């Protein structure tokens, strides 16, 4: 459908975000955050705390403000440099609200109805879900395209939403006969951490909103908590296989091996050859040690930043200013393209 669209010829730009809807976990870190850090070397990057997305489900106001700072602290602690990259809270840049409305008028009901995340999150009682939860992926398209971002590093769960962003951009370009006006953003989904599953159920993704604390490792967990969660992670009684084929039908084991690979920067098959034939009594302590060693510096830096929120606030304020400076001229162009009256 999009093959013949003349290409966007503007600069490459990276955009991504995370919701302040709970504590960030290992899935957010390995699926997205570590890729964000690396992309700073090659691209102009914009990293947003997506508080407008968080309020698609009820949030306590004080907690929302604290968690917004906490997510920003996690970005900085993981290595996002607020001088090189733009770090800000979504609600402080008006372009997100405005473009979301235009895109609500561009996206088609049928496209949004197909989104599996809405079905998962709304559950059986979709009638009672907010309209915002339904149009969440349209707001996501606005987030990206308010900056004409070309690349979006995310975990695998966001693939379908990114396809919708491409459709929205393409539809806008066609409806207003402005080929190449918006880029068709490309997802960057990479590495063995692209889909980290729950520690309690290898068929469900690790998620902030899972009611079980034991299902995830949070970035703010201390060493003992991490070790306990890994010790209690669900496994089976068979030994570790020697090849990736041996992981088939063993989703929990596959997940733990994937986490080991992502944290160590090694391949799954390399990990399997090291642990082939061993039981979880040997594997789990090794994984816990690796997780503590990898996440410890991030946790400590997050704690330091949370004890001095002024540093976080400075980064968010200057990031918002820089984000507005990029998005405002784009919004002027968009209003002109749509044909709004101006004196
Ligand atoms: N389990 C995961 N494995 C790999 N990547 C993941 N991401 C989320 N979970 C995993 C990636 O993290 C980024 C930010 O996600 P988000 O905060 O916008 O919300 P989400 O995708 O809805 O994540 P959660 O943790 O499941 O939150 P809740 O429970 O609030 O919905 C995205 O790039 C995502 O792909």
Q: To test ligand 1's pocket by mutation, which of 137, 155, 197 has the most ligand atoms within 8 angstroms of CB?
A: 155
Check whether 2 has a pLDDT greater than 60: no
d(CA 122, CA 134): 9
Predicted confidence at residue 4, as pLDDT, reads 59
> Backbone phi, then psi, for 175, in 5-degree steps?
-60, -35
Q: Which H helix or E strand runs over 80?
A: none
Stretch 63-88: mean pLDDT, rounded? 97
pLDDT digits (tens, 9 = 90+) for 85-121: 999 999 999 999 999 999 999 999 999 999 999 998 8
- Hey, CA dihedral for 31, 262, 200, 24, is it positive or negative? negative
d(CA 234, CA 287): 14
8 A C-beta contact, residue 189 and residue 203: no
187 Cβ inside 6 Å of ligand 1: no
pLDDT digits (tens, 9 = 90+) for 191-216: 889 999 999 999 999 999 899 999 99
Place of tokens 């590495």: 191
Domain with CATH 1.10.240.10 in the chain: 220-303
Q: 13-195+309-338 architecture in CATH?
A: 3-Layer(aba) Sandwich (3.40)
d(CA 331, CA 337): 10
Given the candidates 3.10.580.10, 3.40.50.2000, 1.10.240.10, 2.40.50.140, the CATH classification of the domain at 220-303 is: 1.10.240.10
Would you say the pTM of this structure is higher than 0.85? yes
Residues with Cβ within 8 Å of residue 164, at least 6 apart in sequence: 107, 111, 112, 115, 137, 138, 140, 141
Q: Whose CA is nearest to atom 27 of ligand 1?
A: 208
Query: Shortest CA distance to 168 belongs to which of 139, 132, 189?
Result: 139
Query: Shortest CA distance to 68 belongs to which of 36, 22, 125?
Result: 22
Query: Residue 277 in 3-state DSSP?
Result: coil
Predicted confidence at residue 5, as pLDDT, reads 58
Predicted confidence at residue 191, as pLDDT, reads 87
Domain with CATH 3.40.50.620 in the chain: 13-195+309-338
């Amino acid at each position: 459908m999009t093959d013949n669209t003349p290409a966007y010829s503007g600069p490459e730009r990276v955009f991504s975000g995370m919701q302040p809807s709970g504590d960030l976990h290992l899935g957010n870190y390995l699926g997205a955050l570590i890729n964000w850090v690396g992309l700073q070397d090659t691209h102009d990057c914009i990293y947003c705390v997506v508080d407008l997305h968080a309020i698609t489900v009820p949030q306590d106001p004080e907690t929302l403000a604290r968690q917004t700072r906490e997510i920003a602290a996690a970005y900085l602690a993981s290595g996002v440099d607020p001088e090189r990259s733009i770090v800000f809270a979504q609600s402080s840049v008006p372009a997100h609200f405005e473009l979301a409305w235009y895109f609500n008028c561009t996206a088609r009901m049928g496209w949004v109805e197909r989104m599996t995340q809405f079905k998962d999150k709304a559950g059986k009682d979709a009638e009672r879900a907010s309209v915002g939860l339904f149009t969440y992926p349209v707001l996501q398209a606005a987030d990206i395209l308010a900056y004409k971002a070309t690349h979006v590093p995310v975990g695998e769960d966001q693939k379908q939403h990114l396809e919708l962003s491409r459709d929205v951009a393409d539809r806008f370009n066609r409806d207003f006969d402005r080929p190449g006006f918006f880029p068709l953003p490309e997802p960057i989904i990479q590495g063995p951490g692209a889909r980290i599953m729950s520690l309690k159920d290898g068929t469900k993704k690790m998620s902030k909103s899972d009611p079980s604390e034991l299902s995830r490792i949070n970035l703010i967990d201390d060493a003992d908590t991490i070790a306990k969660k890994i010790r209690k992670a669900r496994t089976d009684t068979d030994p570790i296989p020697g090849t990736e084929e041996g992981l088939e039908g063993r989703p929990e084991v596959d997940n733990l091996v994937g986490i080991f690979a992502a944290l160590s920067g090694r391949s799954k098959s390399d990990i399997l050859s090291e642990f082939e034939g061993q039981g979880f009594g040997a594997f789990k302590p090794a994984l816990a040690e690796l997780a503590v060693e990898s996440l410890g510096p991030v946790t400590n830096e997050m704690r330091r930043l949370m004890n001095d929120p002024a540093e976080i606030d400075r980064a968010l304020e200057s990031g918002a200013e820089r984000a507005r400076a990029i998005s405002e001229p784009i919004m002027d162009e968009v209003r002109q393209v749509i044909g709004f009256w101006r004196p």
